[in-house]
C-alpha cells in the first residue's frame, strides 16, 4: 500500500464517520501470505461486512478468536492502525471490525 500524508489526510476525514457503526460479517478469509508492510500482522482475518446502514465494507477483524469467524457474526467498526508509520512518521489509520 502506497500512502502519502496528503492522501491519508483526505481519507481520514471520511473514515471517522464509520467509527462505532455496527454490522454483520458475511464472508471472511484468513490472509496467511500478506502483502508488503503487513507481514508483522499475519495471519489475520479479513471479512466483508454489511453495516446497519446497508453499506458494504471490507476490513480486517481485530480482537477475534476462532469462534468469531462465522457468517452473521455481529461486529462494530473501530479505528485502528493499518501499517507501520512511513518514513515521514505518519501512521496510517483505518477501519477494522471487532466482534461483539
Partner 1 sequence: MNISIIGAATTKFGELWTSSPRELAKEAFNSALAQSGISSSKVEALYVGNMLGGLLGHQENIGSFYAEELGLSPVPAFRLEAACASGGVALHNAINSIKAGLYTTVAVLGIEKMTDAGGDLVASALMAAGSDEERGSGITFPGLYALMAQAYMSEYKYKEEDLAEVAVKNHFHGSYNQKAQFKFKVTVADVMKSSRIADPLKLLDCSPVTDGGACVIISSDPKIISKNSVSIVASEVGTDTLALHKRASFTSLNAAKDAGRRAYARAGLRPVDVDVAEVHDCFSIAELIAVEDLGFSETGKGASDLKKGKFTRGKGKTIVNPSGGLKACGHPVGATGVKQAVEIFEQLMGTAGEKQSVTDAKIGLAHNVGGSGAIATVHIFKKNNF
The residues that touch partner 1, with contacts defined as CB under 8 A, are 1, 11, 26-39, 41-42, 44, 46-48, 56-60, 71, 82, 92, 94
Strand-pair partners of 79 = 95
Strand-pair partners of 55 = none
CB of 43 to partner 1, least distance (A): 8
Which one, 44 or 74, has the nearer CB to partner 1?
44
Strand-pair partners of 25 = 49
Rounded Cα gap, residues 89 and 97, in angstroms:
25
Which one, 36 or 67, has the nearer CB to partner 1?
36
Whole-Å CA distances, 86 to 3, 8, 50, 94: 8, 11, 31, 15
Which one, 14 or 89, has the nearer CB to partner 1?
14
CB of 85 to partner 1, least distance (A): 15
Amino acid at each position: 500500500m502506497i500512502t502519502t500524508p496528503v492522501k491519508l489526510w483526505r481519507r481520514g476525514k471520511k473514515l471517522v464517520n464509520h467509527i462505532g457503526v455496527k454490522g454483520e460479517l458475511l464472508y471472511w478469509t484468513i490472509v496467511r501470505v500478506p502483502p508488503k508492510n503487513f507481514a508483522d500482522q499475519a495471519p489475520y482475518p479479513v471479512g466483508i461486512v454489511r453495516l446497519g446502514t446497508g453499506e458494504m465494507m471490507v476490513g480486517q477483524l481485530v480482537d477475534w478468536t476462532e469462534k468469531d469467524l462465522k457468517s452473521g457474526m455481529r461486529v462494530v467498526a473501530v479505528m485502528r492502525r493499518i501499517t507501520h508509520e512511513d518514513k515521514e512518521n505518519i501512521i496510517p489509520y483505518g477501519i477494522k471490525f471487532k466482534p461483539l
